[in-house]
Amino acid sequence: MKHACLALLLLLPVGCSDASADARAAALAEAQAALEADPSRALHVARAALVEHGADPRLSLAAGLACLRLERRSEALGLADAGLAAEDLPAELRSDLAWVRGASLMARYRELSAADDWRGANTTLETATQAGAWRAQAAAALAILQDLGPLGSPDRQTKFARLALQLQPEGQAAQALRGLLERRGLSP
């Protein structure tokens, strides 16, 4: 009887962790589905799952993306940092979290003009260009960042504008980047 109780206790955490993993996965799917049309709902769902089920970089990403859409840059930055603190992140997830962090820092730089925010955005957005779903947007933002303030580099601007155009050759962002390069006398 004693061994049967011990075996049951050993199996209990596995069942609970599976339930938590399932709940996190369901919350992630719901948050991702709501992200475009209702970022407030996506943020609420992801944040509630983080509180109830613990840290999960995928939920941090979903909540961070929602915060970017809602222009809650400080929250987005905190969520990205929390997600990036996880060990052994896949390259795509690390890059997507870096996008949230870099975009937040760039927006904060535009508001406050703090050189540390510019430097942080410059470094983090470069990480975001390496993989992930936001790679093209990160490259475009990095090219634009080079025009903001005195720290930019025409070489970096050209490099990342070309990358952005390679990844996403059509659309409004591509036209804006081509125009930016032409105004600077640079070829795409």
CA-to-CA dists, residue 7 to 11, 13, 17, 103, angstroms: 6, 11, 16, 49
Looking at the fold, whether 76 and 121 belong to one and the same domain comes out as no
Evaluate if residue 93 carries a pLDDT over 60: yes
Least confident of 2-11, 60-69, 106-115: 2-11
Looking at the fold, whether 161 and 143 belong to one and the same domain comes out as yes
CA distance 121 to 127: 10
Q: What's residue 142's pLDDT?
A: 96
Q: The domain containing residue 151 runs over which residues?
A: 94-188
Report yes or no on 8 lying in a domain: no
Q: What's residue 152's pLDDT?
A: 92
Report yes or no on 7 lying in a domain: no
pLDDT band at 10 (very low <50, low <70, confident <90, very high): very low
Report yes or no on 178 lying in a domain: yes
Looking at the fold, whether 77 and 133 belong to one and the same domain comes out as no
pLDDT tens-place string over residues 36-71: 999 999 999 999 999 999 999 999 999 999 999 999
Report yes or no on 1 lying in a domain: no
Looking at the fold, whether 73 and 162 belong to one and the same domain comes out as no
Report yes or no on 4 lying in a domain: no
pLDDT tens-place string over residues 73-87: 999 999 999 999 999
Q: What's residue 1's pLDDT?
A: 44
In whole numbers, what is the pLDDT of the chain averaged over residues? 90
CA distance 105 to 64: 13
Q: Per the structure block, which two tokens stand in for 163?
A: 């990358």
CA distance 140 to 162: 9
Predicted model pTM: 0.87
Q: What's residue 17's pLDDT?
A: 56
Report yes or no on 160 lying in a domain: yes
Evaluate if residue 3 carries a pLDDT over 60: no
Domain count within the chain: 2
Evaluate if residue 166 carries a pLDDT over 90: yes
pLDDT band at 7 (very low <50, low <70, confident <90, very high): very low
Looking at the fold, whether 68 and 98 belong to one and the same domain comes out as no
Q: Per the structure block, which two tokens stand in for 153?
A: 């580099």
Looking at the fold, whether 66 and 108 belong to one and the same domain comes out as no
